[in-house]
Amino acid sequence: MRHGKYPFVVGFLAAPVTLYVVFVIAPYAQAFQISMTNWRGFSAPEWTGFGNYRRLVQDDRFWKAIEHHAVLLVALPLITIAIALFFAFLLNVGGRSTGGQRRGVWGSNFYRVVFFFPQVLAVAIVAVLFQTVYRPNSSGLIDGVLMKLGFDPVLFLVKPSLALWSIIAVLVWQAVGFYVVLFSAGMSAIPSDIYEAAEMDGATRVTLFFRVTLPLLWDTLQVAWVYLGIAAFDAFAIVSVLSVDNGGPDGATTVLALEIYRNAFVYSKYGYASAMGVALFFLTLTFAALTLRLSKRESVEY
């Protein structure tokens, strides 16, 4: 058995590892190679070394996109996790205790379906839907109502100070349902005996949330933060559809993925776009590693 184990393992892993190398590792390596050239997609690429990266450091659009990602990295996870935790707590342990079992609020099963509904919609559909919500005239869902009531329109996507936050609101709306389900699964795994013991000691619902639920959900929160951070580094489809003039107004909503698309498929600067892609790859990798490292703590057993 011992002599036949390794050939079996190698044979079992050969196909998936080969596919991973061909379709994941190889494109990354090729992107790095292209980033060292001035290739425009038509003629033979000319080797430029780190020229694209030096140009990247001096690009104002690149740094503006990094700025927006910094805002997204803080706002999107914090707001999404806070809202999802609140709703998940209500749906699982926020109701009255029946027969010694802590239950969610009345109608919690229905609310789970409602919260998860945005996950069923394609990203493009969500973006088009909120185009109607944010439309800056009488046909817009919000500004149209305000104008009929005699107020000035807010112009969510037109004002540079509001445009990015309006897009963040859409990203939160789309993501909350998934994390409500994720946190609900984590909460359902917590034994009810722990809640009962805490209640017998006089714990209120606020105390239950901060002293019992949060510590026992820490690993799930860690995963959620990493996922949302990766989503903050993406956000291409929502920004592309909702923003004025692809990242506007005046670059107020641009993100790296949008700049990569613009440089590659509008200006045919594939080498420079690849350099941006490599930068985005390392930024995402660094964020995930730092988050897992800084949020690491001893697991709580129960």
Asked, for residue 139, whether it belongs to a domain, the answer is yes
Asked, for residue 36, whether it belongs to a domain, the answer is no
**Range picked from 32-46, 63-77, 97-111, 199-213 for highest mean pLDDT:** 63-77
Asked, for residue 7, whether it belongs to a domain, the answer is no
**Range picked from 101-115, 140-154, 284-298 for highest mean pLDDT:** 140-154
Domain that holds residue 85: 59-294
Assess contact for 197 and 283: CB atoms under 8 A: no
| 25 pLDDT above the threshold of 50 | yes
Domain count, the chain: 1
The pLDDT value given to residue 1? 46
Arithmetic mean of pLDDT, 252-278 = 90
Asked, for residue 32, whether it belongs to a domain, the answer is no
How far from 219 is each of 160, 177, 178, 187, 294, CA to CA, in Å?
37, 19, 16, 12, 13
The pLDDT value given to residue 68? 93
Assess contact for 73 and 288: CB atoms under 8 A: no
Q: Which of 76, 77, 109 is nearest to 95 (CA)?
A: 109
Residue 111 parent element (H or E): helix 108-120
The pLDDT value given to residue 46? 83
Asked, for residue 137, whether it belongs to a domain, the answer is yes
Give the span between the Cα atoms of 246 and 254, in whole angstroms.
7
Assess contact for 160 and 249: CB atoms under 8 A: yes
Asked, for residue 52, whether it belongs to a domain, the answer is no
Classify strands 101-102 and 97-98 as parallel, antiparallel or unpaired.
antiparallel
| 17 pLDDT above the threshold of 60 | yes
Window from 53-57, 164-168, 244-248 with minimum mean pLDDT: 244-248
Q: Which residues in 252-279 are b (16+ Cβ under 10 Å) and which e?
A: bbbbbbbbbbbbbeeeebbbbbbbbbbb
The pLDDT value given to residue 297? 63
| pLDDT tens column, 214-264 | 888 888 888 898 889 888 888 888 888 888 887 888 888 999 999 999 988
In whole numbers, what is the pLDDT of the chain averaged over residues?
A: 83
Asked, for residue 181, whether it belongs to a domain, the answer is yes
The pLDDT value given to residue 292? 79
Coil, helix or strand for 101? strand
CATH number where 287 lies: 1.10.3720.10
Coil, helix or strand for 40? coil
Asked, for residue 76, whether it belongs to a domain, the answer is yes
pTM recorded for the entire structure = 0.84
| 9 pLDDT above the threshold of 80 | no
The pLDDT value given to residue 64? 93
